Structure 1
Amino acid sequence: MSFEQIVARQAGVVAVRQAGACGLSSATMQRRVRDGRWRRLHPGVHLVGGHRLGPEARVWAAWLWAGDRAAVSGPSAAYLHGQPVDVPAVVDLTVPASCSPRRRPGIVLHRRDLTPGDVVFRGGLRLIAPPLAALETAVVLPDGSTFLDRVLQRHVGFPELHAAYCRMLGRRGSRAAGRLLAAAADRADSAAERLLVRLLRESAVTGWVLGHPVGPFRIDVAFVVRRVAVEVDGWAWHVDAERFRADRRRQNVLVAQGWTVLRFTWHDLTTRPGACVAEIRAALDRAA
């Protein structure tokens, strides 16, 4: 591969060792740094003039500095896999447990021995596989359950996600990942319903019943006297077209009979529980 091809593949970033293998002398490389044609990013790693230091360039620079035994991980890997996460502010790298490279600004290092099933290559870049990237990202995001739900809808299957979790048991973030997977696996939405019940009891909200019948339907949590219905949804990745239509038919029937209908998802109940309870209280006050 030529020098130009390497630079194009690596988003404008090149390692000194790569440039040397392409025939560039040390004197030539030093001159290009001095006259500003190359910009030093990390020891032995430079950005070639005319290229922007974008997210992919930052990842390449970090990985080239850490060496080919490292793997891009966490939100950085999730971003490169096209998962729904914002551009990471720092680059996460996983290095073998026996390695102890010095810290660098903009890079977070994690020491762990990866299994072959957790490593993939993308255009020459070594990074963790999509299932492990999704789990590592979900446990560090404030709205990790929402992120993981979106990943399950479009990017990774649950069996692959569970297999990656089993390989990370005992490692950083495995306990939090286990809780998320347990919630995601609950197809009957009972986990979300149990969580809502706990929030209502802790907040001393009374006057509700579970599974109140209205015609052929049942309301998850009903305040019968004030005709306020609270419906809870689990994870969107479980919802198929027929389930979606049935939920909407039930809601239309309730509204037509004078019920106020509130809907909360698992993510609502876990990320903003106080706001959910406040909305219920407000609806009850209006109904009174």
Structure 2
Amino acid sequence: MPPSPLPSAGAARRRRGTSQDVVTAVHALGGTCGWSELRRAVPWRHIGPAVAAGLIARSSNRVYSLPATDEARVIAARMTGVVSHRSAALHWGWKVKQTPDLPDVTVPRGRKVRSSVTGLSTTHQRDLAARDITDGWVTSRERTVVDCCLDLPFDEALAVFDSALRGGMRHGSLVAAAGSLGPRHRAKVLAVARVASGRADNPFESVLRAIALAVPDTTWEPQHRIRDNDFFAKVDLACEELQIVLEADSFEFHGRRAALDRDCERYDELVCRNWLVLRFSWEQVMFRPEWVGGVITRAVQLRRSAARGGAAAPGQMTHLPPATGVA
């Protein structure tokens, strides 16, 4: 008897599960990513079926994104508005902390949104100049960054600003775009601009840096290089003064033994050189920021206590205030 052309229920469930892994990976990679990034996160054989099923979209230059980035333009047209904020960032190929559940659309201030389109978008009201709109339907690159700094939480704005710099935008042009704003709004943009860096690899690292920057009197350098005789390491974040390293452990669905061996050797060498290494997962950074911030705060306190001569004797525990937000 020839095999049935229809897959079994179990096979269908497995196919949906693997395709959903691809969707989850694109979300975690900032809502848009290249082939090499996605390939490191999921097996290549799962990517094609996810595209064929319409779960993710692929452009001509092999950039993968979520279908919602295309739907934003349709909804903006229905609202006689423009695609903006995170949706515009995704259009420009930039990564975001979280892909919005609803597209971001900006309409003129004071306009009443029709009931037929209510609930289809996250609606922002702002009067935009002609130079702020590209091709009649999406905010310009500069305006997109400015709007994200004005209206999104600091960590989300930093993720977009970092990605824009990584994508080739000039820091000076983005700062200049805030020049026409009032003092309060300009200060919000500059607060993000002061710490933005194109060296951050992805939103995961940007959000971790935003959490770390909340610890008073600390400076964190992204993609910091550590050299010591025959040893070299590039770490995600480092506070040189306190010799603390923060690592955003890569989002992957599969790992290799060789990679684990390299990581172990690297971290052991850093510890032997008196670096305190803290490793955080994507889920911890994105969903438990209070706990992550508490751990970093305690590590900073520990280093500063040691610098003042208050280090614990061998075999003794140093008691510091507990972190908050521990699940």
Tell me the TM-score range normalised by the shorter chain.
0.3 to 0.5
Larger Rg: 1
TM-score (norm 2): 0.43
TM-score (norm 1): 0.48
Bigger relative CO (Cα 8 Å, ≥ 6 apart): 2
Q: Which structure carries more strand by proportion?
A: 1
